Structure 1
Amino acid sequence: MARVFPEGRLVYGMQLPIQSQSTIYAEPWEATAGAADLAAVARAADRAGFGYVATCDHVAIPRHMAGPMSTIWYDPIATLSFLAGITENVRLLSHVAILGLRHPLLSAKQYATVDHLSGGRLILGVGAGHVKEEFEVLGVDFARRGAVLDETLDALRAALGPEEYPEFEGELFSFKDLGQLPRPVQERIPVWVGGSSPAAVRRAAVRGDGWLPQGDPLDKLPAQIARIKELRAEAGVAGPVEFGAITAPLYVGEPGWDTGRRTLTGKAEALAEALRAYKAIGIDQIQVRFRNRDRAELIDQITAFGSEVGPLLND
């Protein structure tokens, strides 16, 4: 079991715009943006030293939820594959893939191919999902989605391993004598588990290589980190685990427009000082988001963060 990023350093990544457009975080200009805009932002993050870029996952949004969620959710496999071909160093994270919607051999084929095409840059972020209709239309038991995800993760450990003919025997899934090439470049695909419920925290502890919290404020994170460490010890799970956090929205510099009361703004040192608080409590990687009014401003923010704030995070 290996870490994705070096121990003791605070790494930064970002959820990409455009590919998911919930009204909670999407900026207005994203509604008419397309592949060229997505590519430009991803390349900017790659150049700016971001640890990862991330994409979301929803198959279909029911009409009654489309207002706040929108129906714009790019497919993660297609999007990560596209990003693999236009970036060089940045890691590619699914944040998060709803693996229970798909047979583990199908997911293994898709994500092994992404890892192969990207030269070993995949991070598999996973979650249980929350849209009931999405499960029902695909014939998956929504009430048992946690148990389904747990077994899917166990099956994927086998299916994403080094063997051309992986074997697994479980309650829901079993396979053997079925070959899948290409294999992933990475000897072990890192699995980061998303969610902050007790079940998600336990899943991260027992089955994950990392944890992706869902909106926990800074003061709630130490208890969650301690709980994951406790659960791993009880389960006898050895090896490192990487802890993440989602920061408040950021703006490097003085915006000159209303970025919202929760947005952290200011000079590089002030932002870095605020973000170093995450490192102090044991966070390994922060997911940042920038307020912006168009693609150019977002790329400027990404570039400024990488050149001015990033180098100060580990002082």
Structure 2
Amino acid sequence: MRVLPEGKLAYGIQLPVQSQSTLYTEPWEAGAGPADLVEIARTADRHGFAYIACCEHIGIPRRLAAAMSTVWYDPVATLSYLAAATTRVRLLSHIALAALKHPLISAKQYATLDHLSGGRLILGVGAGHVPEEFDALGVDFARRGALLDEAVDALKAALGPEEFPAYQGKRFAFDGLGQRPRPVQAPRPPVWVGGSSPAALRRAAVRGDGWLPQGDRRDQLPAQLAKLRRLRTEAGISTPAEAGAITEPLYVGEPAWDTGRRTLTGPPERLAESLREYKVMGVRQIQVRFRSRSRTELTDQMAAFAAGVAPHLDS
């Protein structure tokens, strides 16, 4: 299933505020809340962003709390709330920890979200990396990859067109249980798989409609994308995966403050020239993150990107 515009380099955003890891959060986010999320989502909706994304963690152990924080909004609740404040932007779980829940529970939640939003869900799933979350819920962390593989297969069945879906696997099985409302998207919402390990890349190639890399540098992506294509071909899948990339931090224009050495800054044409490299590699969508000191600066940056950079991404 392909949902991105053909021949275009789409751009989306992982929402701020909803996750506040020290790896990327800005200081102003600590005091932000629902009103800020709504305004940012509406800005994305107005300015052609392909999606807004929300990530999932059930609970953060004390040993990781200083680095990851304990602020992780629930993706279903958050994206449902923002669906009511927007009209066209897609709603991406980046990523949902699908192995932690029975697929029928996840299917009920995400089918309802797709129904309520008029068919805007993209279900992004991943394996997770925090053992304590799995231990607390009685799920074997060491087997999370195999569980996720089966959960993806079961979710694709449960989110399909049948009111009474059926699936039989080693861990999950269901038949004869009706679930409505059904998703709006047919035959089902797209499933994008996150992660950059060999197992995650294979999962994306064989089971996913798209790939959400995690932490790959720009120079690492061509080899990963070539492997993704090869694995997909070997699996007999002719439809290309909608591959993404997380860009370097961005600031449109010349900042009057220190935005960090890795941040891409400058006039829109220069940023567009740099970002077009992703399209040449075969990337279909870029996830952008802007440096900012306030919500207003962020939404101004989003608007400046859409007006000045986006029109040149496909030049």
TM, length-normalised to structure 2 = 0.99
- For the residues of structure 1 that align with 2:80 and 2:47, how far apart are their CA atoms? 20
Q: Secondary structure at the match of 1:42?
A: helix
**Residue equivalent to 1:38:** 37
Partner of 2:155: 156
State how 1:14-33 maps to structure 2 within 5 Å. Answer: 14-33=13-32
Residue type of the alignment partner of 1:296: T
Code of the residue aligned with 1:286 in structure 2: it is: I
Alpha-carbon distance in 2 for matches of 1:113, 1:268: 39
Shift of 1:7: 2.3
Cα displacement string for residues 92-144 of structure 1 (whole angstroms, at most 9, x for unaligned residues): 00000010111000000000000001110000111000000000001111000
C-alpha distance after superposition, 1:174-220 (max 9, x if no partner)? 11111100000001211111110000000000000011111111111
Matched, 1:83 2:82: yes
The equivalent of 1:224 in structure 2 is: 224
* Number of the residue aligned with 1:138: 137
- Specify the alignment match of 1:249 in structure 2: 249
Q: Give, in whole Å, the separation in 2 of the partners of 1:175 and 1:283.
A: 36
After TM superposition, the structure 1 = structure 2 runs for residues 1-315 of structure 1, keeping only pairs within 5 Å, are: 2-187=1-186, 188-315=188-315
CA distance in 2: counterparts of 1:314 and 1:231, whole angstroms: 27
Paired with 1:219 and 1:29, the residues of 2 have a C-alpha distance of 32
* 2:166/2:175 contact within 8 Å kept: yes
Q: For the residues of structure 2 that align with 1:8 and 1:314, how far apart are their CA atoms? A: 8
SS for the counterpart of 1:86 is coil
Aligned partner letter, 1:219: D
Q: SS at the partner of 2:181?
A: coil
1:192 is paired with a residue whose SS is: strand
Q: Distance in 1 between matches of 2:149 and 2:2?
A: 21
Distance in 2 separating the partners of 1:296 and 1:10: 26
CA distance in structure 1 between the partners assigned to 2:33 and 2:262 by the alignment:
28
Q: What is the aligned-residue identity percentage?
A: 69
> Do the aligned partners of 2:229 and 2:240 also contact (CA within 8 Å) in 1?
no
Question: Which amino acid is the alignment partner of residue 160 of structure 1?
Answer: L
Q: Distance in 2 between matches of 1:298 and 1:124?
A: 26
Q: Deviations over 1:208-247 (max 9, x none)?
A: 0011111111111111111111111111123231110000
| Regions of 4+ moved over 3 Å | none
Cα distance in structure 2, aligned partners of 1:242 and 1:177: 33
**3-state SS, counterpart of residue 203 of structure 1:** helix
Q: How many residues align?
A: 314
**Partners of 2:229 and 2:303 in 1: CA distance:** 35
Q: Give the AA of the match of 2:47.
A: A
Segments of structure 1 that go 5 or more residues without pairing to the other structure are none
Query: Aligned partners of 1:151, 1:177: CA distance in 2, in Å?
Result: 19
Within 1, Cα distance between the matches of 2:310 and 2:231? 32
Unpaired runs of at least 5, structure 2:
none
How far, CA to CA, are the matches of 2:60 and 2:115 in structure 1? 30
User: What CA distance in whole angstroms lies between the structure 2 residues aligned with 1:296 and 1:139?
Assistant: 43
CA distance in 1: counterparts of 2:255 and 2:41, whole angstroms:
23
SS of the counterpart of 2:149? helix
Give the Cα separation in 2 of the matches to 1:227 and 1:242: 14
- The CA deviation string for residues 140-171 of structure 1, in whole angstroms up to 9 with x for no partner, is 11000000000001111110001111111110
Paired with 1:251 and 1:70, the residues of 2 have a C-alpha distance of 25
Distance 2:133 2:286 in 1: 29
